[in-house]
Amino acid sequence: MTDMRSRAVDLLVVEDNPADARLIELLLSEVGGIMCRRADCLGDAIAKAEAAPPDAVLLDLSLPDAHGIETVERFRAAAPTLPIVICTGLDDESMGLLALQHGCQDYLVKGQGDGNLIRRTILYAIERKAVEEERRTTAERLKRVLLQTVRSLSLTLEMRDPYTTGHQRRVAQLSTAIGRRMGLSEMVVEGLRTGGLLHDIGKIHIPAEFLSRPGKLSVEVHKVIRMHPQMGWEIMKDIEFPWPVAEMIRQHHERLDGSGYPLGLKGDEIILESRIIAVADVLEAISSHRPYRPALGLDVAVAELREHSGSRYDPAVVQACIDVVEEKGASILDEDPAPQL
């Protein structure tokens, strides 16, 4: 963070009333430490902030070319990292809270307070924005580490089961595409990506020869393999993801009619993310090669989903999946689900 003790703070005062702007400058000149420059409209303020970014912005909410929270939104879009203090004639606490919710650091009312108050508020806003940016940077770094760890876990499983190499990656890709088609938030879509990449992690406890055995599986072997959702849940249940990853893993073989496993859940007892991963898992598995059979193709996979839509599979998820397949075809299974790190 820039050390403000070594120089005057560069403050951009965005105010269309010359008298109000002059009063602010006089009050701050009396206490010192802050150098003011002025913009009399939002367009001028954005241009000056882009040409020479100030340390902070004192922003009026009523300008010739912008009014109310729109003023904040437009300035914040142009200068997302600058500290903003609202300075307005509206003595309205709800407006102040709304400004804070839209990314401002503080709120002043014209005519209330002296230069010392304005100066303290500006300095606090700069400090607060610096802390916010540091937290954001830290969160992004931790997110990258988390995604790298998730991908490493997924690749570890694929190394044990070369016949299904890429399965978790493809399920993750299809799950995120379905989630976006359904209009889910990017936060939920990120969770789907993580859950998809890890949904079969419980197979790490299954003997490798069971996973790659050609031909029809015996009842005993099938029972062991069916344990993998619960085993995956056991592995992940104590990890504090920002999404219900452990439940996604445990429930991805559950079916709406209760015919799934390991818990025999029905309907809305199954979380939406698991219903999405289940559909993606079925489509990928049927359309891809397996040790016990050749690939059956997308048409067979889609037919399976259509036949059991509303009974085994969530109909809204099935329709979103079909829409994605019709739009992108087989390429949907070849894309990388992970964001650039």
Which residues neighbour 125 within 8 Å (Cβ) at sequence distance 6 or greater?
Answer: 56, 83, 84, 85, 105, 106
Helix, strand, coil tally for the chain in percent (to 5): 60, 10, 30
> Is pLDDT at 95 greater than 80 in this prediction?
no
pLDDT digits (tens, 9 = 90+) for 228-280: 999 999 988 988 888 999 999 999 999 999 999 999 999 999 999 999 999 99
- Tell me the two tokens of residue 277: 């991963």
Q: What is the mean pLDDT of the chain?
A: 85
pLDDT of residue 7: 78
pLDDT digits (tens, 9 = 90+) for 286-310: 887 665 566 678 889 999 999 999 9
Buried b (16+ CB within 10 A) or exposed e, 46-78: bebbeeeebbbbbbbbebeebeebebbebbbee
Q: Which of the residue ranges 60-69, 102-111, 314-323 has the most confident prediction, judged by mean pLDDT?
A: 314-323
> Which of 132-146, 254-268, 315-329 has the least mean pLDDT?
132-146
DSSP 3-state of 252: coil
End-to-end distance of the chain based on CA atoms, in angstroms?
A: 25
* Per-residue pLDDT band at 162 (split at 50, 70, 90): low
* Per-residue pLDDT band at 163 (split at 50, 70, 90): low
Contact assessment for residue 158 and residue 168, using Cβ atoms and an 8 Å cutoff: yes
pLDDT of residue 74: 92
Which residue in 262, 278, 265 sits closest to 314, CA to CA?
A: 278
Percentage above 90 pLDDT, the chain: 51
